Structure 1
Amino acid sequence: MTILLPTSTAGSLPKPSWLAEPEKLWSPWKLEGEELVAGKQDALRLAVEDQRQAGITIVGDGEQTRQHFVTTFIEHLSGVDFEKRETVRIRNRYDASVPTVVGAVSRPKSVFVEDAKFLRAQTDQPIKWTLPGPMTMIDTLYDAHYRSREKLAWEFARILGEEARELEAAGVDIIQFDEPAFNVFFEEANDWGIATLEKAAERLTCETAVHICYGYGIKANTEWKKTLGSEWRQYEETFPNLQKSSIDIISLECHHSHVPMELIELIRGKKVMVGAIDVASDTIETPEDVADTLRKALAFVDADKLYPSTNCGMAPLSRGVARGKLDALGAGAEIVRQELAAA
């Protein structure tokens, strides 16, 4: 049976304090060896159960087996030296010490497939897996080999395509590519970024999604948001081309942002993951808050194409706050489902 308004998270959930330091990005693991493997699987099981209890329809792994949504994938590639680090500006917002591309990049073996198989074994519900998009990957590295953002993006698109097809074969129903860089590098996104994204998704028969947000609720991002004015119209730059793309689902930040709701009209015809949960605040939304966001979105997206979600990942939040927000998302979507059924 197809559920109206299927809910999901944008990706990450907080890790248990026994696995990694809480409320911190790039938090180091507290376990080692076989204990770490078991601990990651235990945390993944807990993430699935939290989603199930909250009534989340499309289940993710909460990114429990990864330190970071981009670098954990890159760690498994050849041609990248994690010992040779350079400081770069991440999405024109903050400086970070990042690894260096020193040679031709390749993927010696699958990165997340075993984790995806483990997730598939935990639930009969549809599952989603997140991967970094090509443009966001190149923005998290120093390139001393290709010396061309576009060339490196096409290489990453090829590698991501290999991984995505193996994830699909492992039983993943939706593969989501995270491209927050689309909200910063508009010209590049339209010139070749969307094309590289489509390359990563080609030959997949499962559904594909692209997640474009204003970032985690960390200080660098929240400070940047204060400079964006009363209306955030960044989506206006890329949505027309994404509407024409082969990607099935567009995921956007909405609740408590200054994104004009009518921008969703630009992707009419696509399925839309509407961010109805603010991940930059510890305030837990009420179900009615979520329902109100969804009702407003329904003016611009058909009900059978609306996927309630979170604005971004919730890794930096406390587990209690994240769980409360999950519950609100599930309950708010149910309110609107009932209203649509009664209409």
Structure 2
Amino acid sequence: MKKLLPTSIAGSLPKPSWLAQPETLWSPWKLEGDELTQGKQDALRLSLLNQQQSGVDIISDGEQTRQHFVTTFIEHLNGVDFQQRKTVKIRDRYDASVPMVVGEVTRQKAVFVDDAKFLRQQTSQPIKWALPGPMTMVDTLYDSHYKSREKLAWEFAKILNQEAKELEAAGVDIIQFDEPAFNVFFDEVNDWGIAALERAAEGLKCETAVHICYGYGIKANTDWKKSLGDEWRQYEEIFPKLQSSSIDLISLECQNSRVPMELIELLRGKKVMVGAIDVATNAIETPEEVANTLRKALQFVDADKLYPCTNCGMVPLSQHVTRGKLNALSAGAEIIRQELTR
């Protein structure tokens, strides 16, 4: 019997202080060589233990072996020059110095597969692994080779598909593609973004997910959110096409957001990972607050398709706050399970 309302995290967890600087995005590693390899594996074990102790059902790697959810993958590809950089506006929000696409992009070898095999050996629970989505990868680079966002996205989709198939073979149960860019470039999402995402997931037998959020709890994102008005209806533009796509799970931001819950109705039939934990605040939700968000979501998604989750990654938060939030997520989901089985 499959567990009702299985909980999971959207992406990252804080890294241990001996591995990287806590509460910091893009933090450099504190170890190198064999020590770094060992340190990353220790961090994976610790991240697994923290999730298990908090009662998380679907285990993630917590992105312990990568510095960043997009660039770590790109660093392993040919055709991208990290020395040559340009400043571009990322997701129409903030300027960042990014690497340059200088030639054909290809993948020489697997990026995360060894890490996934290692995590698989440590647990019999279902595992979810996140990869950057094609459009978000494109949005994190300066392209001086293809000169077309769409063309570059298709190339990335092919590469992601190679990686995803090897992750599936390594025992990963859900492969998630992170596409925060889907909340910004609506025309492109509908023109080619969802098609490129489907190409990345082509031929996979495991479950596939797409995570679309309003970003980490960093200033550039929280300032942008303040400009979005009383109702955030971005999802409305892309949900109809996602509903008819081949992707199994859609992961959204709901806790403390101004997303009207009824927009989930547009995904009817899909499994929905409902973000019931706000990652942009140190305030720890109560189990009842989590349960309340899930109750509202249940009006628009069937109970057997609801997956309680976090809004986004938690790497900028402290270990203490993260643990409190994960405990609340599990306890809130349990409240609703009891209500549903009564």
Q: Normalised by the shorter chain, which TM-score bucket?
A: over 0.9
Equivalent position SS for 1:105: strand
Unaligned runs of 5+ in 2: none
Equivalent position SS for 2:135: helix
**2 CA distance for matches of 1:19 and 1:97?**
24
Letter in 2 for 1:148: S
Residue 36 of structure 2 is matched in structure 1 by 36
- Is residue 190 of structure 1 aligned with residue 190 of structure 2? yes
Percent identity for Structure 1 against Structure 2: 79
Letter in 1 for 2:274: V
Letter in 2 for 1:71: T
Residue 222 of structure 1 is matched in structure 2 by 222
Residue 252 of structure 1 is matched in structure 2 by 252
Letter in 2 for 1:46: L
**2 CA distance for matches of 1:318 and 1:141?**
29
Residue 140 of structure 2 is matched in structure 1 by 140
Residue 310 of structure 1 is matched in structure 2 by 310
- Is residue 18 of structure 1 aligned with residue 26 of structure 2? no
**2 CA distance for matches of 1:40 and 1:288?**
35
User: Where do 4+ consecutive residues of structure 1 move more than 4 Å?
Assistant: none
Count of paired positions: 342
Equivalent position SS for 1:34: helix
Letter in 1 for 2:221: N
**2 CA distance for matches of 1:229 and 1:162?**
40
**2 CA distance for matches of 1:328 and 1:272?**
19
**1 CA distance for matches of 2:200 and 2:88?**
25
List aligned pairs for 1:60-99, cutoff 5 A: 60-99=60-99
**2 CA distance for matches of 1:222 and 1:117?**
36
**2 CA distance for matches of 1:174 and 1:332?**
23
**1 CA distance for matches of 2:166 and 2:126?**
17
**1 CA distance for matches of 2:215 and 2:228?**
13
Equivalent position SS for 2:129: strand
**1 CA distance for matches of 2:141 and 2:237?**
24
**2 CA distance for matches of 1:218 and 1:66?**
19
Query: Which deviations, in whole Å up to 9, do the C-alpha atoms of 1:194-242 show, x marking residues without a partner?
Result: 0000000010000000000000000100000000000000000000000
Residue 45 of structure 2 is matched in structure 1 by 45
**2 CA distance for matches of 1:161 and 1:255?**
31
| Coordinate RMSD, CA, aligned | 0.4
Letter in 2 for 1:48: L
Letter in 2 for 1:321: V
Equivalent position SS for 1:187: helix
Residue 113 of structure 1 is matched in structure 2 by 113
Query: Which deviations, in whole Å up to 9, do the C-alpha atoms of 1:95-128 show, x marking residues without a partner?
Result: 0111000000000000000000011011100000
Equivalent position SS for 1:15: coil
Residue 273 of structure 1 is matched in structure 2 by 273
Residue 103 of structure 1 is matched in structure 2 by 103
Residue 27 of structure 2 is matched in structure 1 by 27
Equivalent position SS for 1:50: helix
**2 CA distance for matches of 1:27 and 1:314?**
14
Residue 324 of structure 2 is matched in structure 1 by 324
Equivalent position SS for 1:336: helix
Query: Which deviations, in whole Å up to 9, do the C-alpha atoms of 1:57-101 show, x marking residues without a partner?
Result: 100000000000000000000000000111010101100111000
TM-score (norm 2): 1.00
List aligned pairs for 1:123-162, cutoff 5 A: 123-162=123-162
Letter in 2 for 1:103: G
Letter in 1 for 2:180: P
Letter in 1 for 2:243: Q
Query: Which deviations, in whole Å up to 9, do the C-alpha atoms of 1:290-341 show, x marking residues without a partner?
Result: 0000011000000000000000000111111111101110111011001101
Equivalent position SS for 2:59: coil
Residue 283 of structure 1 is matched in structure 2 by 283
**2 CA distance for matches of 1:287 and 1:42?**
30
**2 CA distance for matches of 1:152 and 1:312?**
26
**1 CA distance for matches of 2:51 and 2:97?**
34
**1 CA distance for matches of 2:230 and 2:15?**
34
Query: Which deviations, in whole Å up to 9, do the C-alpha atoms of 1:229-264 show, x marking residues without a partner?
Result: 000000000000000000000000001000000000
